[in-house]
Amino acid sequence: MASGFFALLDDIAALMDDVAVMSKIAAKKTAGILGDDLAVNAEKASGFVSSRELPVLWAIAKGSFINKLIILPIAFLLSAFFPLAIIIILVLGGLFLAYEGAEKIYEYFFPHKHSIVETTIQDYTETEILAFEKDKIKSAIITDFILSVEIVIIALGTVIEETLTSQIVVVSFIAILATVGVYGIVAIIVRMDELGFKLIGMSTKENSPSKIIGNLLVQALPKVIKSLAVIGTIALILVAGGIFVHNIDFLHHILPQLPSFLKEFIIGLTIGLVVLGIVNVFKKVFGKK
């Protein structure tokens, strides 16, 4: 009886060791797309009145948890009964990520002309502000859903050969870690300027350390968000390229002389530009009609 109990404990310990190793691998695989997730949500959660930033971010985070509650069971069912679907979804998701990354680069070099309306948050009524918040929250949750699908599928792809129990534990852990980690960091980022203003207000001297640090935090916020946008774009293309290289045999064997990250970036960007060109042609054709 006792020997059976200790054998069970040994099995559990071995399973946890395997889960820890697989979780580390899955976390590395999904790290790239988390950069884009972080950049997108930092942008979505900014631009509000200071007192509304955290409530808006909390609403988006709750939506993200609901997204994953929907995605995870479907992903596990597909893994159990139709594993080929995981590869198909990965490649289709890779096409979307490559397209999005290429579109951001294209937009940088050939920006669209948008009509500029000079308004501030004070120009809106309370009802309009609430409607604005609701629209941004909805947009952020939809974007999070797409990125969450990729995070879950990429994590699942790293443990697709393992038992269903290991898949559930590893992928669920990555999904929770991604949500808590991303939105925790976003919360810190969007409050950087608020902390900076408090430090400035506490300062009694012109060149005091608190005032210098406060000014740095206030000035750093827009630069951090812009930097995250650049990092996120590169991450999108690298993640997409990695999906193509590891799941399409032909692409796996081309450009063997290049470092893997450079090869994945070139392939991801090339396919992204092709998809972008096709989408733009369709837009022009159907736009004219």
pLDDT in tens, 79-96: 778 878 878 887 888 888
For residue 146, what pLDDT band results from cuts at 50, 70 and 90?
confident
Alpha-carbon distance of 54 to 156, in angstroms, equals: 31
CA distance 81 to 2: 38
Q: Which position has the token pair 């799941």?
A: 247
Domain ranges of the chain: 14-194+222-288
48 alpha carbon, distance to own chain's centre? 21
Neighbours of 121 (CB within 10 A): 12
- In the structure, what pLDDT confidence band is assigned to residue 273 with cuts at 50, 70 and 90? very high
Task: Check pLDDT > 90 for residue 153.
Answer: no
pTM for the full model?
0.68
Higher pLDDT, 50 or 189: 189
What band does 30 get if pLDDT is binned at 50, 70 and 90?
low
Tell me how far apart the alpha carbons of residues 106 and 121 are, in angstroms, rounded to a whole number.
Answer: 30
- Between residues 280 and 28, which one has the greater pLDDT? 280
Residue 161 has pLDDT above 80, yes or no: no
Identify the burial level of 241 via C-beta atoms within 10 angstroms of its C-beta, where 0-12 means exposed, 13-18 middle and 19 or more buried: buried
Contact in structure between 235 and 154 (CB atoms under 8 Å)? no
- CB-based contact 251:274 (threshold 8 Å): no
**Token pair in block for residue 33:** 């797309």
* Confidence (pLDDT) at 144: 80
pLDDT digits (tens, 9 = 90+) for 173-216: 888 888 888 888 887 777 777 778 777 777 777 777 777 788 88
Mean pLDDT for the chain overall:
76
